[in-house]
């Protein structure tokens, strides 16, 4: 074979290889990509609800736990005593309520008795009214008959005496009615006082509700002495030990939620124009450079913190110097959801990843790893 033909074939082979390489890199030229990516996950700060020394710590640093597993227990004895005291106070409040409720019933009975006495006095007065009217008529008749000598003075005197006696009886009955009404008013006041001392009836009673709430709070505090994992995840940066003082509302350890991993890719602002939620993404972890991971774009960030203009010393704006002929593109966060994670891949929060977003419409579904040159 002539040397010229050998050179030609060699050149053709080299050209084909170069074209193949260029085509291979084409996806990473026309599609947005970044080496500034990180593995993210929800990191839950495990915070105790009550304070006390830790008496049980069945976990170790970097251990995997399931939701509901005991992470640590705070000494429960103080809270057990508080619960017993709160329950005793609730029992006392309930006994007091029952006693005051009986007082209300007794006061109500007195009111009914006084009301009956008032009715009886009113009925007696009505009877005296009829008797007075009758005796007065008889007395007048006797007077008329005496004027005509049709009756004796003795009969007239007897009729007058009967009339006067009936009037006096009515006066006494009127006094009795006033006394019965005063007794009724006092009974009603006593009933109102008893009701005020007792408060509302049943479960609506304020004293009972307060005592019950205190007992429930004490029971919750005792329950809070057992701090359990809210989700499946890994314990990280454990610094507690048995005897350490757990402080209420202060984080004691961190738990990485294994069901919340995502990839955060920071793309230059001049490359995100064509990125849309739902675009296919290819993630290459620095930990596993030869294993591409498939994902989709969940969302794009709508804002980033502004560095220039932040408050500095003496409340003056903090402005960084810039070169007029260089404009640095800002980085916009893009959230990537991994759709297929092999069993042998272990994600760790904060590790580095390269991310490529496939914005072209003619994608064949393959997921090549990002070349090492671009990683």
Q: Please state, in angstroms and as integers, the Cα–Cα distance from residue 156 to each residue in 97, 112, 119, 151, 162, following that order.
A: 66, 45, 35, 7, 10
Lowest mean pLDDT among 14-23, 35-44, 248-257, 294-303: 14-23
- The answer to whether residue 373 scores a pLDDT higher than 70 is no
| Domain residue ranges of the chain, discontinuous segments joined by + | 30-41+259-358, 52-75+225-250, 79-219
**What mean pLDDT do residues 269-274 have?**
88
What is the pLDDT confidence band of residue 250, given thresholds at 50, 70 and 90? very high
Please give the pLDDT value at position 176.
Answer: 82
| Phi-psi region at 138: left, alpha or beta (left = phi > 0; alpha = psi -120 to 50) | alpha
**Which CATH class for the 52-75+225-250 domain?**
mainly beta
CATH number for the region 30-41+259-358 comes to 2.40.30.170
**What mean pLDDT do residues 264-289 have?**
92
- The answer to whether residue 352 scores a pLDDT higher than 80 is yes
What is the pLDDT confidence band of residue 325, given thresholds at 50, 70 and 90? low
- The answer to whether residue 216 scores a pLDDT higher than 60 is yes
Lowest mean pLDDT among 44-58, 97-111, 132-146, 250-264: 132-146
Please give the pLDDT value at position 370.
Answer: 55
- The answer to whether residue 374 scores a pLDDT higher than 60 is no
Cβ atoms of 257 and 86 closer than 8 Å? no
Lowest mean pLDDT among 8-17, 241-250, 278-287: 8-17
| CATH topology identical between 30-41+259-358 and 79-219 | no
Please give the pLDDT value at position 27.
Answer: 61
Cβ atoms of 362 and 324 closer than 8 Å? no
Tokens of 299: 């969302």
What is the pLDDT confidence band of residue 278, given thresholds at 50, 70 and 90? very high
Q: What is the pLDDT of residues 150-185, one digit of tens each?
A: 777 887 788 788 878 888 888 888 888 888 888 888
- The answer to whether residue 241 scores a pLDDT higher than 80 is yes
The residue length of the chain stands at 375
- pTM strictly above 0.75: no
Please give the pLDDT value at position 17.
Answer: 75
Rounded Cα–Cα distance for residues 295 and 280 (Å): 6
Q: Please state, in angstroms and as integers, the Cα–Cα distance from residue 247 to each residue in 48, 73, 80, 229, 255, following that order.
A: 7, 12, 18, 17, 18
Pairing mode, if any, of strands 43-46 and 52-56?
Answer: unpaired
- The answer to whether residue 94 scores a pLDDT higher than 70 is yes
Q: To which residue do tokens 């297929």 refer? A: 340
Pairing mode, if any, of strands 226-228 and 64-65?
Answer: unpaired
Q: What is the pLDDT of residues 219-231, one digit of tens each?
A: 999 999 999 999 9
**Which CATH class for the 79-219 domain?**
mainly alpha
Q: How many CB atoms lie within 10 A of CB 136?
A: 16
- The answer to whether residue 301 scores a pLDDT higher than 80 is yes
* 127 CB-contact burial (10 Å; exposed 0-12 / middle 13-18 / buried 19+): middle
Rg (the chain; Cα; Å): 48
Please give the pLDDT value at position 217.
Answer: 96
How does the average pLDDT of the chain come out, rounded?
A: 85
* CB-facing half-sphere around the CA of 375: CA atoms within 13 A: 19
SS3 per-residue string spanning the chain: CCHHHHHHHHHHHHHHHHHHHHHHHHHHHHCCEEEEEEEECCEEEECCCCCEEEEECCCCCCCEECCCCEEEEECCHHHHHHHHHHHHHHHHHHHHHHHHHHHHHHHHHHHHHHHHHHHHHHHHHHHHHHHHHHHHHHHHHHHHHHHCCCCCHHHHHHHHHHHHHHHHHHHHHHHHHHHHHHHHHHHHHHHHHHHHHHCCCHHHCHHHHHHHHHHHHHHHHHHHCEEECCCCEEEECCCCCCCCEECCCCCCEEEEECCCCEEEEEEEHHHCCCCCCCCEEEEEECCCCCCEEEEEEEEECCCCCCCCCEECHHHCEECCCCCCCCCCCCEEEEEEEEEECCCCCCCCCCCEEEEEEECCCCCCCCCCCCCCCCC
Please give the pLDDT value at position 366.
Answer: 54
Cβ atoms of 179 and 169 closer than 8 Å? no
Tokens of 351: 């590790």
The better pLDDT of the pair 271, 74 is held by 74
pLDDT-above-70 percentage for the chain: 87
Q: What is the pLDDT of residues 59-78, one digit of tens each?
A: 999 999 999 999 999 999 99
Buried b (16+ CB within 10 A) or exposed e, 31-41: bbbbeebbbbb
Q: How many CB atoms lie within 10 A of CB 99?
A: 11
What is the pLDDT confidence band of residue 246, given thresholds at 50, 70 and 90? very high
User: Which residues, 6+ apart, have CB-to-CB distance to 218 below 8 Å?
Assistant: 79, 82, 83, 85, 86, 87
Tokens of 278: 């739902």
What is the pLDDT confidence band of residue 133, given thresholds at 50, 70 and 90? confident
The better pLDDT of the pair 353, 177 is held by 353
**What mean pLDDT do residues 307-316 have?**
70
Lowest mean pLDDT among 59-63, 231-235, 265-269, 319-323: 319-323
**In degrees, to the nearest 5, what angle opens at C-alpha 366 toward C-alphas 362 and 369?**
120
């Amino acid at each position: 074979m002539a040397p010229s033909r050998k050179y030609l074939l060699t050149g053709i082979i080299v050209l084909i290889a170069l074209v193949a390489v260029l085509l291979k890199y084409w996806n990473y030229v026309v599609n947005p990509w970044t080496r500034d990516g990180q593995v993210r996950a929800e990191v839950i700060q495990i915070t105790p609800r009550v304070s006390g020394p830790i008496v049980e710590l069945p976990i170790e640093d970097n251990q995997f736990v399931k939701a509901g597993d005991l992470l640590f227990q705070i000494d429960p004895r103080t809270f057990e005593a508080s619960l017993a005291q709160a329950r005793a106070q609730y029992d006392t409040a309930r006994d007091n309520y029952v006693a005051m409720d009986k007082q209300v019933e007794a006061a109500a009975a007195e009111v009914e008795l006084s009301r009956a006495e008032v009715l009886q006095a009113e009925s007696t007065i009505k009877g005296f009214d009829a008797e007075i009217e009758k005796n007065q008529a008889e007395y007048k008749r006797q007077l008329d008959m005496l004027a005509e000598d049709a009756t004796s003075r003795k009969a007239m005197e007897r009729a007058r005496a009967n009339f006067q006696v009936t009037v006096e009886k009515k006066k006494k009955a009127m006094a009795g009615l006033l006394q019965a009404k005063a007794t009724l008013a006092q009974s009603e006041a006593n009933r109102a006082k008893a009701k005020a001392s007792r408060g509302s009836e049943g479960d609506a009673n304020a004293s009972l509700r307060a005592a019950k709430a205190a007992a429930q709070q004490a029971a919750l505090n005792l329950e809070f002495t057992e701090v359990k994992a809210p989700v499946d995840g890994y314990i990280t940066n454990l610094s507690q030990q048995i005897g350490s003082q757990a402080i209420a509302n202060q984080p004691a350890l961190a738990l990485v939620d294994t069901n919340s991993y995502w990839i955060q890719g920071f793309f230059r602002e001049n490359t995100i124009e064509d990125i849309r939620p739902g675009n296919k993404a290819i993630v290459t972890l620095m930990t596993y450079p030869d294993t591409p991971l498939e994902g989709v774009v969940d969302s794009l960030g709508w804002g980033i913190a502004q560095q220039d203009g932040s408050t500095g010393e003496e409340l003056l704006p903090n402005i960084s110097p810039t070169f007029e002929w260089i404009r640095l593109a800002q980085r916009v966060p893009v959230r990537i959801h991994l759709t297929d994670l092999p069993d042998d891949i272990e994600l760790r929060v904060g590790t580095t990843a390269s991310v490529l977003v496939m914005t072209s419409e003619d994608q064949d579904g393959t997921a090549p790893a990002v070349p090492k040159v671009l990683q």
